[in-house]
Amino acid sequence: METIWQPIKDSGHLTEKIVARIEQIIEESQLSAGSRLPSERELAKLLGVSRPALREAVKTLEAHGRVVVRHGQGVFITASADELMRDRLANQEVSMMELYAMRNVLEAPAAGWAAANASDHDIERLRLALEAEEEARTNTTDFARLAQLDSGFHLLIVEIARNRFLLQTLGILQEMMAAGMDTTLTVPGRLERSRQDHRAIFEAIRDHDIEAARVAASSHIIGAREAALSRVRGSSADDI
């Protein structure tokens, strides 16, 4: 424990060194969330640094969520790095579940309405959209282009459903997903599953089978959700 409290050498980036040392103190001392660090004066003395330098490091730690400053009371530990990672993962999963739940609410009925309303011209447009996706998969896959075609396929179905409000709402939702996450088509096995799903949705709409269209669209969204969650969990595990 004594080595932890040795004064910090001035060489290098001082703020980063102070941050690293305080994190080391938190971990090796097994301080739990809610524990109070020594006062600013005492901590600066123990680490052999100036109080302004210490304040800068504390600001960094607070920005990272490692400590919270309560004016007039002191600096308190919030949570461990593992706990923060688990919280972040949980928040990501909840947000993703909500996004995909909303997609299901919008797109499953839309596929049914498209099956009921599709004209021969609509079916031909949807066939061509599906064909463009197939061509994009043949050679070296351009995932950025394929993601655009994938999004266009779903928007076309909503357009065929003849509901302008639904089309606008889904467009906004897809923009949110595109900004916040990479396409799930890069997840192993997802590319082929997506191809099969789109084919099933198309065939149901072509055959004017309302229930089959709804089921196929819902199954597709659930599969995409599971692929997205799998990637989040895998990347978060790699970060720990």
Cβ 227 vs Cβ 187: under 8 Å: yes
Cβ 85 vs Cβ 236: under 8 Å: yes
CA-nearest of 220, 184, 223 to 201 is 220
Alpha carbon 124 to chain centroid distance? 35
Q: Work out the angle between the directed axes of helices 190-206 and 210-239 (0-180°, nearest 10).
A: 160
The pLDDT of residue 91 is 58
Q: pLDDT of the chain along its 240 residues, tens only?
A: 445 566 676 555 788 889 888 888 887 777 777 888 889 899 889 888 999 999 999 999 888 878 888 888 888 888 655 555 455 555 566 677 888 888 899 899 999 999 999 999 999 999 999 999 888 877 667 778 888 898 889 989 999 999 888 877 877 767 765 654 456 777 788 888 999 999 999 999 999 999 999 999 999 999 988 888 887 676 544 443
Domains belonging to the chain, first-starting first, are 2-79 (1.10.10.10), 83-239 (1.20.120.530)
Give dist(CA 151, CA 173) in Å, integer.
Answer: 11
The pLDDT of residue 240 is 39
Q: Work out the angle between the directed axes of helices 164-180 and 143-160 (0-180°, nearest 10).
A: 160
End-to-end, the C-alpha distance of the chain in Å comes to 25
The pLDDT of residue 10 is 59
* Prediction pTM value: 0.58
Q: Work out the angle between the directed axes of helices 143-160 and 190-206 (0-180°, nearest 10).
A: 20
How would you classify the pairing of strands 67-70 and 74-77? antiparallel
- Which residue is listed with tokens 């889904």? 170
What the block records as the tokens of 196 is 């099969």
What the block records as the tokens of 154 is 């779903």
- Which residue is listed with tokens 């197939």? 134
The pLDDT of residue 13 is 79
* CB count in 10 Å sphere of residue 33: 12
